């Protein structure tokens, strides 16, 4: 492997890590706090991408303004999801899983019927290429990386340094004790859903520009998010960062040595081995259900 290829792989690793962290952050929040396996996270991500496309390309708005509006609109789904789809089955894993699958299927099928024969992509949020000797990185990837890193820091600050964040941690750790402390668990859950939807919308818009849009673009989101959350550890938002680097590293380096479909299988194999050695993930607690 040449130096250029190695440095290129490091850059790919950092970009992939930031991409996966961006995707998994909202999912991790809901999984850690509400013990909710948000299967519909992928379709929220997909809707975010398409909404940003509609605003920026179809209506001709400024792309960054479109991103902000998209986040605002998609965030409004959060309280609706919590009130009507998750609250009736609060902490009922099986039922919330079924509800999530139902939401995913309905939204994906609707989008597939209306959009599936169109090739669409958002315009890049940043153009140009940054060259450093033989190494070059697109500004688009740099911006995605920076936004992913900033959002991770923001969520970690929210969780660890604010009253709301501490309440979220309390709900995630012990529901009954939180109720006894007077914490409004439904309000906290709704807030978590709002944040999760907003993060999914950001991810869908940024990655919709980088990778293109499609009705099934969210399929891989659930898989990657679940891997990151389990690997990083239940209840640990910071663990997402380490897990993102590990999974991003595997996906960036493995294709350089192994060709084709074997990379996917080997990547899963590596993750399984890690979990066999550390069942709680890197920083997590035991799952409560």
What residues make contact with another protein under the rule CB under 8 A?
Answer: 2, 4-5, 8-9, 12, 15-16, 19, 109, 112, 116-121, 123-124, 127, 129, 131, 136-138, 140-141, 209, 211-212, 214-216, 220, 251-256, 259-264
Residue 36: CB minimum distance to another protein, A:
24
Residue 120: CB minimum distance to another protein, A:
7
Residue 136: CB minimum distance to another protein, A:
5
Residue 142: CB minimum distance to another protein, A:
11
- Residue 86, φ and ψ in degrees, nearest 5: -105, -40
- The C-alpha atoms of residue 123 and residue 94 are separated, in whole angstroms, by 39
CA-wise closest residue to 34 among 102, 81, 76, 104: 81
Residue 191: CB minimum distance to another protein, A:
30
Nearer to another protein, 6 or 157 (CB): 6
Nearer to another protein, 116 or 162 (CB): 116
- The C-alpha atoms of residue 88 and residue 74 are separated, in whole angstroms, by 21
Nearer to another protein, 193 or 252 (CB): 252
Residue 43: CB minimum distance to another protein, A:
14
Nearer to another protein, 5 or 76 (CB): 5
Q: Look at the alpha carbons of 4, 268, 271, 211 in this order and tell me if their dihedral is positive or negative.
A: positive
- The C-alpha atoms of residue 162 and residue 230 are separated, in whole angstroms, by 25
Residue 280: CB minimum distance to another protein, A:
28
Token duo for residue 162 = 């604010």
Residue 138: CB minimum distance to another protein, A:
4
Nearer to another protein, 82 or 251 (CB): 251
Given a contact cutoff of 8 angstroms between Cβ atoms, the answer to whether 164 and 183 are in contact is: no
Nearer to another protein, 191 or 246 (CB): 246
């Amino acid at each position: 492997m040449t130096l250029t290829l190695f440095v290129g792989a490091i850059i790919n690793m950092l970009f992939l890590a930031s991409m996966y962290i961006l995707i998994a952050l909202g999912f991790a929040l809901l999984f850690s706090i509400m013990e909710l396996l948000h299967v519909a996270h992928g379709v929220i991500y997909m809707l975010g991408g398409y909404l940003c496309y509609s605003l920026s390309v179809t209506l001709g708005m400024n792309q960054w303004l479109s991103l902000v509006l998209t986040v605002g609109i998609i965030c409004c789904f959060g309280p609706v999801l919590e009130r009507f789809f998750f609250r009736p089955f609060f902490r009922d894993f099986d039922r919330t899983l079924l509800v999530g699958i139902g939401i995913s299927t309905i939204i994906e099928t609707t989008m597939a019927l209306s959009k599936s024969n169109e090739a669409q992509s958002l315009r890049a949020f940043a153009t140009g290429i940054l060259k450093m000797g033989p190494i070059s990185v697109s500004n688009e990837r740099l911006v995605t990386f920076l936004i992913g890193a900033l959002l991770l820091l923001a969520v970690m600050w929210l969780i660890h340094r604010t009253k709301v964040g501490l309440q979220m941690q309390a709900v995630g750790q012990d529901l009954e004790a939180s109720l006894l402390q007077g914490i409004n668990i439904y309000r906290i859950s709704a807030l978590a859903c709002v944040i999760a939807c907003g993060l999914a919308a950001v991810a869908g818009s940024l990655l919709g520009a980088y990778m293109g849009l499609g009705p099934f673009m969210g399929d891989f989101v659930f898989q990657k998010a679940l891997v990151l959350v389990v690997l990083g550890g239940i209840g640990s938002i910071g663990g997402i960062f380490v897990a993102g680097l590990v999974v991003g590293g595997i996906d960036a380096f493995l294709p350089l040595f192994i060709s084709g479909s074997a990379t996917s299988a080997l990547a899963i194999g590596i993750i399984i081995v890690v979990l066999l050695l550390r069942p709680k993930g890197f920083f997590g607690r035991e799952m409560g259900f």
